[in-house]
Chains A and B, each alone.
Chain A
């Protein structure tokens, strides 16, 4: 018996990440090869023709899992009945723009999208905010959609998490699938803290700590961290465009693991509403290590935090508190 289709919303769908993401969703990469989907794609009126072009291409691809397409500039139509919402749309930073200006634009967008989601999405809709500043956009969304359970609003740090795994795999010359349990703490920004203290590598003689195998604390505490933190900029330098393929792929990983569960013994990084775990102030959207089961995420508890990590984790919490203050000042 075929499954009932799931409605998946992608905002900013006419952009680069959207264009990479929608075929992945339509091919079952996000929700599984047996899960039919109906795609809702939203973008702003100037992008209406381009969005229609994406719709045409999705039809032209004859995807077996794609049971319907809604391509619209109307946020109500876009949000209606959706069980998964990937918010890629936002105001991009332009040359000469101050941080406050970017924040201000995005705060308005996420306030308005919050109302639409709350009123029209399916009750247990799972939300992933990708557009930057991701953590703060997600916080605004949460604040203005009070009837959406706070646990259902998350932001993307899986890209940073995957980048961390990739860097370790390159350093150790192993397959990336043999590396796990890196953690991204904090803000999806340059203050993120990529932590390998609990990361391991599968070897022929069992699972070994990354720190032991790399045997280079200096590298792990400096170059590794800054490489992961600044990887986005490195991609822009090479491609003259920001990451789309890897961002889209990581968004699929985030939703898939959330909905279908993480493998035994593996944790992933998600930006979630802080409950005060690990001395992180409650009331921020902060990236933590989580496991997922039964459609729910749970913060991995009890991991020892050394002094070095504490400082890093506090610094990124500090930045998020400042962003929160700035965001609220834009609303008044």
Chain B
């Protein structure tokens, strides 16, 4: 009879991988618009485990237009040159089907950019065509339960078009990015209170990722030497919270463009990683984050639009935080964003034959 020790030795010799800790299976992550500025920032972060965790191997799928094929290949080359331990493969393509094939996570950054003199209506129109086509590819080729994050603007309405034309995809699996605004709000509060940003939480971004977004501090708290206190109490300046703070967060994108002569890439990419990471790995206890999700009618927000809500995440699912008090000021701001989103939806529908 073989001793268990000699059996182990024989296993080690014949099939050593059986006795090693099996690493996780790779997750396929798609980034569209990957040859652009945000794409360049985000692929580096994804390949370093900053989206899905330091122990989660990834296969990157990168999609961009044929005109960007050389640039996209250059990024593929750089990813190989970086010898990244978590990166198990790179697909760089201008073919939608190939890009979407088997993906578990999709970050949709590609879209028609706003150009000087362009009306909002035109921007919506151009993007309807793109997101209608991406919806088909998503439905046909992505892995079941693929989680989608729409970044390209108008993000909420692009997400809505995507949802409408990919009816087989559960609505809860399609989201849009307001985590950048959420993180900006936390950053502004941390600066105001002179605390570290990790000690501020539970700001909320309500509504559209546009100038009608409502950064709400009614339920935000900060950790001080006296424990966790409401931000409203610590700032003790209702006017600042309702006016300057709100407009600073709303217009932060423009402020970054003014300084950099380019729009935010680093912070947008980082926020997209945060959004996806918290969605999949869960939010810390007692902390909520902001995500643009398909409205279920909570807080008097009509169903049928993508609206940013406070959510917690657990076991790969988001849930809207319920039962928060909404005062008159918040109500009017939240309603204004609803109005804008309904108008965007009406315009988008006008482009759909």
User: Of the 9-residue stretches B130-138, B178-186, B231-239, which lies at the interface with chain A?
Assistant: B178-186
Which B residue sits closest to A59, measured CB to CB?
A: B187
Q: How far is the CB of A127 from chain B (nearest CB, A)?
A: 22
CB distance B48 to A249 under 8 Å? yes
Q: A45-74, CB under 8 A of B: which get 1 and which 0?
A: 000011011101111111110110000000
Counting CB contacts under 8 A, is A119 at the interface? no
**A8 at interface, CB cutoff 8 A:** no
Please give, as numbers and ranges, the residues of chain B lying within 8 Å of A240 by CB-CB distance.
Answer: 71
CA distance A61 to B275 in the complex (A): 12
CA distance A58 to B255 in the complex (A): 14
A20 touching B260 by the CB < 8 A rule?
Answer: no
Contact A23 B85, beta carbon cutoff 8 Å: no
Chain A residues with CB under 8 A of B16: 204
Q: Is the CB of B197 within 8 A of A49?
A: no
Is B267 touching A166 in the complex (CB atoms < 8 A)? no
Contact A20 B252 (CB under 8 A): no
Contact (Cβ within 8 A) A61 B81: no
- B166-201 interface with A by 8 A CB criterion: 180, 183-184, 186-187, 190-191, 196-198
Quick check: is A327 within 8 A (CB to CB) of the other chain?
no
Given A60-B256, A60-B264: A245 and B44 within 8 A (CB)?
yes
Chain A proximity mask over B263-278: 1 for CB below 8 Å, otherwise 0: 0111101110010000
Inter-chain contact A245/B82, CB cutoff 8 Å:
yes
Task: Kindly state the interface size class of chain A when it binds its partner.
Answer: 35 or more
**Given A59-B191, A60-B264, A176-B83; A235-B77 close (CB under 8 Å):** yes
Contacts of B274 in A (CB 8 A): 62
- B270, A246: Cβ atoms under 8 Å? no
Tell me the minimal C-beta distance from B173 to chain A in angstroms. 25
Query: Closest CB-CB distance, B13 to chain A, in whole Å?
Result: 9
Taking a contact as CB atoms under 8 Å apart, the answer to whether A50 and B260 are in contact is yes
Interface pair B82/A250, CB less than 8 Å apart: yes
A214 at the interface (CB under 8 A from B): no
A246 to B77, CA, bound (A): 9
Judge whether B80 and A166 touch: CB under 8 Å.
yes
Q: Does A189 contact B (CB under 8 A)?
A: no
Q: Is the interface of B mostly helix, strand, loop or mixed?
A: helix
Q: Are A60 and B267 within 8 A (Cβ)? A: yes
Residues of B within 8 Å of A166, CB to CB, are 80-83
Query: Given A24-B48, A235-B78, A56–B43 Cβ distance below 8 Å?
Result: no
Partner of A248, one of B44, B74, B183, B255: B44
- Whether B261 sits at the interface, judged by CB under 8 Å, is yes
Judge whether A238 is part of the interface by a CB distance below 8 angstroms: yes
A64 — which chain B residues lie within 8 A by C-beta? 197-198
A246 to B47, CA, bound (A): 11
A-B pairs with CB below 8 Å: how many?
144
From B50, B73, B85, B266, A54 is in contact (CB under 8 Å) with B266
Q: Are A22 and B266 in contact (CB under 8 A)?
A: yes
Contact of A249 among B82, B258, B264 (CB under 8 A): B82
| B17 CB to nearest chain A CB (Å) | 7
Given A33-B54, A238-B77, A61-B82 contact (CB < 8 Å): no
The answer to whether the Cβ of B314 comes within 8 Å of any Cβ in the partner chain is: no
Beta-carbon contact of B264 and A57 below 8 Å = yes
- List chain B residues, Cβ under 8 A from A325: none
Instruction: Identify the closest chain A residue to B76 (Cβ).
Output: A238
Are A243 and B81 closer than 8 Å at their CB atoms? yes
Contact A20 B54 (CB under 8 A): no
Determine if A159 is an interface residue (Cβ-Cβ < 8 Å).
Answer: yes
Docked CA distance A163–B187 (Å): 37
Beta-carbon contact of B259 and A246 below 8 Å: no
Name the one of A63, A169, A231, A239 contacting B75, with C-beta atoms under 8 angstroms.
Answer: A239
| Given A56-B259, A159-B81, A245-B43: A61 in contact with B54 (beta carbons within 8 A) | no
Contacting A at CB under 8 A, from B29-64, are: 40-41, 43-45, 48, 50, 54
A53 pairs with B183, CB closer than 8 A:
no
- Determine if A275 is an interface residue (Cβ-Cβ < 8 Å): no
A contact residues around B95 at 8 Å (CB): none
Q: Contact at B84–A238, with CB atoms within 8 Å? A: no
Residue pair A20, B77 in contact (C-beta under 8 Å):
no
The interface residues of chain B lying within 8 Å CB-to-CB of A253 are 83
Q: Are B74 and A239 in contact (CB under 8 A)?
A: yes
Q: Is B88 an interface residue (CB 8 A)?
A: yes
Q: Which residues from chain B contact A56 at a C-beta distance below 8 Å?
A: 252, 255-256, 259
Subset of 29 A-B contacts with CB under 8 Å? A22-B266, A27-B50, A29-B48, A50-B260, A57-B266, A58-B266, A59-B187, A60-B183, A60-B184, A61-B267, A62-B184, A62-B186, A62-B274, A63-B197, A64-B197, A165-B83, A166-B81, A166-B82, A170-B80, A176-B85, A231-B77, A235-B74, A235-B81, A238-B74, A239-B74, A245-B43, A245-B82, A246-B79, A250-B82
The 3 tightest CB contacts between A and B, nearest first, are: A238-B74, A53-B259, A53-B260
